[in-house]
Structure 1
């Protein structure tokens, strides 16, 4: 964890390498995403843009991109979909930050882990009538030199 200074949205600014694993517990293929994300200020929001490749099982690599809008909200960070709809929020200073998102009939539950900052991860457990998977994203600063 970094020094005693409070971690806020500005600590996430910049480029991150992402390694993501998706474990489908309904018998589908496991997927792996590898790419980069960049968080930068954009007016009253911060834009999180990620791009890379996703591979399902032994299939070919496919291009994958996603964007979210982050917004400081007191101690918390609110995450919105690219269209501005609210997704979830989290407290980067909480001992074990969690979040939930309901997309009827599905429930998305996130657990953030900042204990190895500036390496961090978020694990989403997703459950619904036709969904049952775990998605873990590990984020770290790109290697330098």
Structure 2
């Protein structure tokens, strides 16, 4: 068996394609905010996949705000690349996926944003859900953000 093939997600190169559709998500930014919302992943004409999320962000003091975020995902041979939706698109990180414990596909990458460092990890579970974890540290930022996605 190919070490990058996991039931429900297929081969590592297929993961982005299988993201297409609607997802409910729950995000915790430790000690700062929570976000509940919906993310939609749609194929675009250029072969990429547009990611757009909308949700309700709740601050630690209870204040609730509307939040949204957009990325562009591109398939790779062993995973995918994530770009900020800018003109032109700017690379956030490239994720190579490998089989990990419990029958999941996992991958990680780092990104330097000015002097702050993002260490990101993606885990795609056999049951179809996935989790994205960003650990951010530096002179201006210090937090962990965990987002769990479930197919709608």
Q: TM > 0.5 between the two? A: yes
Shift of 1:101: 0.7
1:108–1:124: 8 Å Cα contact kept in structure 2? yes
Gaps of 5+ in 2: 1-5, 101-105
SS in 2 for 1:129: coil
Inter-partner Cα distance in structure 2 for 1:61 and 1:4: 34
Shift of 1:115: 2.8
**1:89 matches 2:71:** no
Q: Which runs of 4+ in 1 moved over 6 A?
A: none
User: Residues 62-141 of structure 1 correspond to what in structure 2 (within 5 A)?
Assistant: 62-83=65-86, 84-95=89-100, 96-141=106-151
SS in 2 for 1:79: strand
Partner of 2:54: 51
Q: 1:3 to 1:75 in 2, by over 3 A?
A: same
2:8–2:128: 8 Å Cα contact kept in structure 1? no
Gaps of 5+ in 1: 25-29
Q: C-alpha deviations, 1:11-44, integer Å up to 9, x for none?
A: 11100101000014xxxxx200000001011122
2:133–2:147: 8 Å Cα contact kept in structure 1? yes
* Count, aligned residues: 137
SS in 1 for 2:11: coil
Q: C-alpha deviations, 1:73-109, integer Å up to 9, x for none?
A: 2222110001001101213444331111111201000
Inter-partner Cα distance in structure 1 for 2:18 and 2:64: 31
SS in 1 for 2:125: strand
